[in-house]
């Protein structure tokens, strides 16, 4: 079995740290779901959406205020713009 590169592990840890996911497992599962969504099977896509909605509803973390969301998004954008070779959008 191949292992994750350090950059991949850091990206997952960063997503968990800023509250994007409750755990690294959730982040990896979301990536797998996103990959599965690239299929052309509408039933699979609908099931993936249902699963994401269910996980969101069942998430025990408190809701974020709009200020917290803005701050997290600002941090993500600042980090993305600081990556060498990445074009600004």
3-state secondary structure of 81: helix
Q: Please say if the pLDDT value at position 81 is more than 90.
A: no
Q: Please say if the pLDDT value at position 87 is more than 60.
A: no
pLDDT digits (tens, 9 = 90+) for 13-61: 898 899 888 888 898 888 888 887 676 678 887 898 999 999 988 988 8
Instruction: Return the residue matching tokens 């069942």.
Output: 58
The pLDDT value given to residue 6: 85
Going by pLDDT thresholds of 50, 70 and 90, the confidence category of residue 83 is: confident
pTM for the full predicted model: 0.40
Which residues, 6+ apart, have CB-to-CB distance to 84 below 8 Å?
none
């Amino acid at each position: 079995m191949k292992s994750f590169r350090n950059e991949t592990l850091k990206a997952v840890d960063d997503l968990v740290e800023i509250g994007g996911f409750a755990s690294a497992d959730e982040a990896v599962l979301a990536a797998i779901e996103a990959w599965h969504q690239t299929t052309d099977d509408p039933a699979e896509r609908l099931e993936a959406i249902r699963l994401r909605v269910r996980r969101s509803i069942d998430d025990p973390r408190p809701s974020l205020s709009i200020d917290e969301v803005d701050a997290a998004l600002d941090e993500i954008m600042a980090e993305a713009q600081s990556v060498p070779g990445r074009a600004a959008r």
